[in-house]
């Protein structure tokens, strides 16, 4: 294997979902965030629609995002499923992060089926995740049910939807090895 392939393999295998409770207080500077976001721009995109859009929350806006998430959870959760503890955790999670990126997918129904735009946006997020890993930043993609209600808060147009929140932060915690089945259990060879 070439050294580039070895480096890429190492980054792919180290990528983990790293949650805000293990983030430390170190901030992610804007230049680093721009490098991470720019990596998304090289994802595959059918018909060059480039459907990925990102809204970046840092500083005080993280608290605002947390309050809105908690408000939406309380508003849209039935009394029998509602948990005060969960609402508090949802509100505090953004503030424990150095940055949160709202992942927005823009559909182009006259050109492509929506699933292709979602797949393209997902590959853009994976590019960000791999770049964050390479830069020593923990991150994870969260898809709480309330994302379906964030459109007004995020000022999205009718053809845009939030498909997740990408939490990021530095951590001092040693991350566990990946647990994956051997790839041979998932591959058929036809020759």
Q: What is the pLDDT along the chain (191 residues), one digit of tens a residue?
A: 679 999 999 999 999 999 999 999 999 999 999 999 999 999 999 999 999 999 999 999 999 999 999 999 999 999 999 999 999 999 999 999 999 999 999 999 999 999 999 999 999 999 999 999 999 999 999 999 999 999 999 999 999 999 999 999 999 999 888 889 999 999 999 99
User: From residue 60, how far is each of 4, 85, 100, 116 by CA, in Å?
Assistant: 39, 22, 12, 35
User: From residue 77, how far is each of 41, 105, 159 by CA, in Å?
Assistant: 35, 25, 25
Residue 105: CB atoms within 10 A of its CB come to 23
pLDDT score at 2: 74
pLDDT score at 177: 84
pLDDT score at 1: 63
Q: Tokens at residue 56, please?
A: 């970046």
Beta-bridge partner residues of 104: 53, 162
pLDDT score at 40: 98
CB 105 within 8 A of CB 161: yes
pLDDT score at 138: 97
Q: Tokens at residue 106, please?
A: 């823009």
CB 130 within 8 A of CB 39: yes
């Amino acid at each position: 294997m070439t050294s580039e392939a070895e480096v890429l393999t190492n980054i792919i295998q180290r990528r983990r979902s790293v949650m805000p409770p293990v983030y430390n207080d170190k901030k992610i500077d804007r230049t680093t965030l721009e490098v991470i976001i720019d990596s998304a721009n090289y994802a595959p995109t059918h018909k060059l629609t480039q459907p990925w859009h990102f809204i970046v929350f840092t500083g005080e806006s993280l608290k605002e995002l947390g309050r809105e998430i908690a408000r939406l959870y309380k508003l849209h959760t039935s009394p029998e499923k509602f948990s005060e503890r969960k609402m508090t955790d949802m509100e505090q999670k953004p503030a424990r992060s150095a940055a949160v990126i709202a992942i927005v997918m823009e559909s182009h129904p006259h050109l492509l089926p929506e699933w292709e735009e979602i797949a393209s946006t997902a590959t853009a997020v994976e590019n960000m995740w791999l770049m964050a890993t390479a830069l020593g930043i923990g991150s994870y993609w969260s898809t709480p049910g309330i994302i379906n209600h964030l459109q007004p808060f995020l000022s999205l147009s009718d053809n845009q939807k939030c498909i997740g929140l990408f939490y990021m932060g530095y951590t001092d915690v040693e991350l566990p090895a990946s647990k994956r089945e051997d790839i041979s259990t998932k591959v058929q060879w036809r020759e």
